[in-house]
Structure 1
Amino acid sequence: MTKISTISFTENGDKLNKAIAERLTGKADISVSLKGARTEGLAEWTAREFKTADALIFIGAAGIAVRAIAPFIERKDKDPAVIVCDELGRYVIPVLSGHIGGANELASRLAELIHAEPVITTATDINNIWAVDTWAVKHGYAIENIEAIRYVSSALLRHEKVGIKSDMHDGISEIFNGEEIPAGLVYGDTEAEAGISISPYIKDTWSHTLHLIPKCLVIGAGSRKGAESGNLEKLIERIFKENALSLKAVSDIATIDIKKDETAIIDLAEKLEVPLKIYSAEELNALPDRFSFDESEFVRKTTGTDNVCERSAVKCALERGSGQDAEIIINKTKGDAVTAALARYR
């Protein structure tokens, strides 16, 4: 559930703060800081909540919020949504992370709940132009290069054509899957200056290519007993660099049960912040016959299956892809006492 932290500075602000919390109860995890009950300073509150909350709501002057958050702002794909309400609840103003962080959407919802007017200032919204970053977040795409968002948005605002390609979909209709196709988007290679690539690969098709990364890759991992912690990470970084792949596309790491306690594998899953999926030899051996693997008799004798990393990757990819469209895109690759393979799914 979304975590929203609210703070107020006057008696009127406290009343509105309580009303907001009441209306959002059940819709979000609400943390309320009232003037009449607060025991910490604004800087301390902001430092903590900016790191842990999905959204911050300041009830008071916009200048208070701006000064409070300024030391903590990093980048638009990491910062939380920040919203300001005046103490009488007349206006709701998103001031940070309007698209990726969802501040614009939350401000509109909040304004409806408290019968206020949302004050949206982002150019795409006020001109009724499709916002690619909002759409990307809604559909679960990671943004590889946020600096390219402005080129796509600026082109659309100028009513210029913007290219779009996907190796996850068959055409633009499948990309939008029943949604209205935004004006200005042209599927395939075009002469446009800006374009959008939906792929785990980093392909600069246009002068300004915005890379939207789908979660579609599974790392299958193997490790000798006691392999050093960073060995698998180094191997994966090399594989992804050599093949122009984005680490943001990784959804899971998978391995066999007898390797589940290996530090090299556990540490990589933690670093990439993805689940570690564990399978038995019996589960790995039961994969469909349509898959072929780089078989090793030594590995079979040691683990009970002929290829830990490839089979683990495929097994997890099949689960992620509902049993369809899984394929090995990087076969078993050896590193220092570790192995890895990549499987892709739709």
Structure 2
Amino acid sequence: MTLGIWLVRPEAEALAACLAARLQGVVHRPVGEQKAQFAQAYRRHTQWIFIGASGIAVRFLDGLAQDKHSDPAVVVLDEAGRFAVSMLAGHEGGANALAYRVAASVGAVPVVSTASEALKPLVVGIGCRKDVSPERIEAAVRLALGEHGIDQVREVATVDLKANEPGLLAFCAAFDLPLRVFARATLAARPWVSKPSDWVRQNVGLDGVCEPCALVASPRGRLLVPKTSLDGVAVAVVQDQWMEI
């Protein structure tokens, strides 16, 4: 898959350069009438990051979409890098996954509205030791979930220190789960944890990882399963409260 980055205004050049470097994308810097240029470039890539307002993106996409199985994935990112919105070809085309990748690369909030993801009520927070295998992560997650299945999990959340942890990435890939990454400063703003860890405090600078990650990822949720540890992996589960209504 190839990634195109459409730069609506030159003011967002630094953001586009950051995305291009971190996600291996090609930046398009149009001059003049942009809508026609975007239409010509639309099929050149299988994925697009559109840096600009969602209203502009909607107008540019007008008449271009044909089929969710073949349309390029489109994610809209505002110029401040706050929200990465899965706009087109969300599940089948990979825009949902791309939204999480964009969000992780610039510290944005991923916005996904497809029913297949939105109706999953659980968020799993994970903290783990270095080089933990995906099998050990899976075992810890299944222990924490209990009677709930992995198919009920909407996303996995972790701290930025673990953003590239091989076992965690492999686990998420195996179960097609998006990984949401939070900066340590963001997690420190929600310091409460049920079981503070001296090891985590010394090595990460936080009292805990899994519970804050899950709670920040689902701010309207409640802690369904507090920190559960198994073989170097700590897991917490948060459930959306609206599912209990």
Alignment TM-score, normalising by the size of structure 1:
0.36
Alignment TM-score, normalising by the size of structure 2:
0.50
Structure with the greater alpha carbon radius of gyration? 1
